[in-house]
Every structure is written in structure tokens, then in C-alpha cells.
């Protein structure tokens, strides 16, 4: 009997003046190809903003993890835009597994 593995990525970006709201829902395992989609979208949203303030919500409730190369892409993206990320919320809730919720609010 084979198990079905799902993979998906949903991205929303909205800009109001200097505030950028990024929402991301990942299903399955994030891949390098996912970051080939995410990175240019974020770069384009920030390109026209002089002093962007990025507020991020990541829904990881169906996230299984990252490929190694995708984890490297994530680190590079975070370092590239580190000063622009002001508020973010990363949530993961797994029934029967460890429950993790990480919240950071920039002041």
C-alpha cells in the first residue's frame, strides 16, 4: 500500500505604504524550487519600497520540513532581508507530535 505525499505552496503578499504583509502556507517538504518561487516574489514586492517593514505569517501546520538545499535558501533569504523583517509568526501544530509555536514581535 503506497502513501500519498502532498506538496504545495500558497503565497500572499500585500503592500500598504512601507508595510509589506507576507503570508505563506507550506504543505509537505519545502524544496529549493519553492525558494525559486518565493525569493523573486518577495524581492519584487520590496524593490519599490524605500524602507520596507515586512510582517510575516507562516502556516506550517502541514509542513514536514525542508530539504537541505531549501534550508540553505531560507537562511540566505533571511540574511538578505533581515533588517526588513519586523514582525513574524511561525506556527506549527502537529497532533501526536511535538507542538511548536514561535512568535517574534519586533518593537
Residue 55's H or E segment, with its range, is: strand 53-66
Average pLDDT, the chain: 80
pLDDT tens column, 20-53: 888 889 899 999 999 999 899 888 888 888 888 8
Q: How far is CA 82 from the centre of its chain?
A: 13
- Taking a C-beta distance cutoff of 8 angstroms, is the pair 63, 26 a contact? yes
Segment among 7-21, 70-84, 86-100 with least mean pLDDT: 86-100
Q: What is the pLDDT of residue 63?
A: 84
Amino acid at each position: 500500500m503506497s502513501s500519498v505525499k502532498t506538496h504545495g505552496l500558497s503565497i500572499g503578499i500585500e503592500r500598504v505604504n512601507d508595510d509589506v504583509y507576507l503570508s505563506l502556507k507550506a504543505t509537505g517538504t519545502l524544496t529549493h524550487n519553492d525558494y525559486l518561487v518565493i525569493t523573486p516574489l518577495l524581492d519584487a514586492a520590496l524593490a519599490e519600497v524605500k524602507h520596507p517593514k515586512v510582517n510575516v505569517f507562516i502556516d506550517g501546520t502541514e509542513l514536514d520540513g525542508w530539504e537541505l538545499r531549501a534550508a540553505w535558501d531560507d537562511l540566505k533569504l533571511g540574511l538578505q532581508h533581515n533588517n526588513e523583517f519586523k514582525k513574524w509568526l511561525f506556527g506549527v501544530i502537529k497532533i501526536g507530535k511535538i507542538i511548536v509555536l514561535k512568535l517574534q514581535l519586533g518593537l
